[in-house]
Amino acid sequence: MTLFSAVQPAPPDAILGLTEQFRADPNPRKVNLGVGVYQNEQGVLPLLRSVAAAERKLAAQPQAKGYLAIDGLPTYDADVKELVFGAGSPLLADGRVVTVQALGGTGALKIGADFLRQVSPDARVLISNPSWENHQALFTRAGFTVAKYRYYDAEAKGVDVAGMLADLDAAAPGTIVVLHACCHNPTGYDLTPEQWQRVIDVVVERDLTAFLDMAYQGFSAGIEEDGAVVRAFAERVPSFFVSTSFSKSFSLYGERVGGLSIVCADADEAARVLSQVKIVIRTNYSNPPTHGAALVETVLADPELRADWVTELGEMRDRIKAMRSALVAGLADAGVTRDMSYITDQVGMFSFSGLTKEQMVRLRTEFGVYGTDTGRICVAALNEGNVGYVSASIAAVLD
Ligand code: PMP
């Protein structure tokens, strides 16, 4: 008997396991559409021009690496607030928003979950069905019971708005509802502004705790446009959470840059909330790392770099959209007669292709095209060089 002799092997991570399988695949035409990472037209992870310029700026004035404050770089936190809530937000003027630097979107969700466990220990958590797979695990680990609200309508290829509203309406007051602010992962289907208003109606009426996960701000229509959801909540909901990730929008996956924002009733409440959130951070990792936040802050604080970043984000967004159209056209060229135009209705990095698990397995084993068993493919990994092959491969498994 050893301390660990009863430890069972955990199941492999579905998506990372797929990448391992992809690496081992000898097929020279193989394409990895499994992992949610943006690749450029050359099929490589981009280093953004604006980020490279910020790297040079920082390298020209090397700094000692002291500890940051528990809640992170103050100028960075202020910039996150402005991106998320809009510079003119009355909430910011009133000091109602607490924003702390976090280790990517995941870190922001985890700080929020741990803090919520402290203030609402008996609340249940509702996530969308389906959702980013870590939502369930992360909130469960934080001590919550996690259930699902209806979201994807496989028949209609869209959001089951009536089902979603009914499930939220049936939730007990205080239930924590995790909502994808934009670019829903994995389906690619978002709510319209009118549908968001109906969700907000229920959140207010049922006194639910909304947790907006915004991992893709700027990938649907633009920074401002995608932030409109947060502003709609800000107008009507007295307290809610927003997690921000810059992994995708700055192509800074490995630097772990994100933020957690908590809207409070007033500045006094915000100060008390911040003091408790700092304890959550302090007892987890003490304070966040310096470099990624310094890069983002350098880009956002320099008008030229910021403008270039906005352009680059637009280029990524437009390229993904072009690849959606290319995929729909490629499928038609490859002889698919059924209507696949829903692929261009979806937004963000992913497409719920509508393929079954069996078809996804065939796609992988016979063609070396890797997506998840749920039928999710990462459209941001398509390019002019592989979209024809991917289309032909999907056509072959569809019949
Ligand atoms: N939320 C959603 C919906 C995501 O898709 C992701 C990343 N795939 C995250 C959060 C986590 O982001 P990060 O990599 O910055 O931790």
Question: Which pLDDT tens digit goes with each residue over 284-321?
Answer: 999 999 999 999 999 999 999 999 999 999 999 999 99
pLDDT for 345 beyond 80: yes
On the question of pLDDT at 17 being above 90, the answer is no
Give me the phi and psi of 261, to 5 degrees please: -115, 135
pLDDT one-digit tens code per residue, 178-233 = 999 999 999 999 999 999 999 999 999 999 999 999 999 999 999 999 999 999 99
Q: Which band of pLDDT confidence, cut at 50, 70 and 90, is reported for residue 113?
A: very high
Beta-bridge mates of residue 178: 211
State residue 12's pLDDT score. 80
CA distance 251 to 255: 9
Q: How far apart are CA 22 and CA 26, in angstroms?
A: 9
Q: How far apart are CA 219 and CA 251, in angstroms?
A: 12
Catalytic residue among 114, 190, 248, 309: 248
Ligand 1 pocket by C-beta < 6 Å: which residues? Answer: 36, 104-106, 132, 180, 185, 213, 215, 245, 247, 258
Tens digit of pLDDT for each residue in 371-388? 999 999 999 999 999 999
Strands 258-263 and 97-102: antiparallel
pLDDT one-digit tens code per residue, 243-294: 999 999 999 999 999 999 999 999 999 999 999 999 999 999 999 999 999 9
pLDDT in tens, 120-143: 999 999 999 999 999 999 999 999
98 three-class SS? strand
Of residues 19 and 69, more confidence is placed in 69
Cβ pair 244, 214 in contact under 8 A: yes
Q: How far is CA 161 from CA 130, 158, 210, 330, in A?
A: 14, 9, 17, 31
Residue nearest to atom 1 of ligand 1 (CA): 215
Mean pLDDT over 68-75 rounds to: 98
> pTM of the predicted model, to two decimals?
0.97
Is 70 within 8 Å of 310 (Cβ atoms)? no
Nearest-CA residue for atom 7 of ligand 1: 215
Q: Is the pLDDT assigned to residue 11 strictly greater than 90?
A: no
Q: Where are the strands (E) in the chain, listed by range?
A: 31-32, 97-102, 125-129, 146-150, 152-153, 158-159, 176-180, 209-214, 240-245, 258-263, 350-352, 369-370, 376-378
Mean pLDDT for 53-80 is 97
Q: From atom 10 of ligand 1, which residue's Cα is the shortest distance away? A: 105
ipTM above 0.90, yes or no: yes
Tell me whether residue 196 is one of the annotated catalytic residues.
no
Q: Which two tokens stand for residue 342?
A: 């829903």
Length of the chain: 399
Catalytic residue, candidates 71, 132, 226, 309: 132
Question: Structure tokens of 353?
Answer: 């292709």
Under the phi-then-psi rule, with left for phi > 0, alpha for psi from -120 to 50, and beta for the rest, what region is 63?
A: beta
3-state SS class at 393? helix
CB of 354 closer than 8 Å to CB of 342: yes
DSSP-assigned states of every residue in 293-358? HHHHHHHHHSHHHHHHHHHHHHHHHHHHHHHHHHHHHHHHHTT--S--THHHH--SSEEE----HH
Q: Report CA(106)–ligand 1 centroid distance (Å).
A: 6
List the residue whose alpha carbon is closest to atom 2 of ligand 1.
215
Candidates 326, 330, 319, 321; CA nearest to 391 is 330
| pLDDT at residue 399 tops 80 | no
| CA dist., res. 238 & res. 309, Å (int) | 32
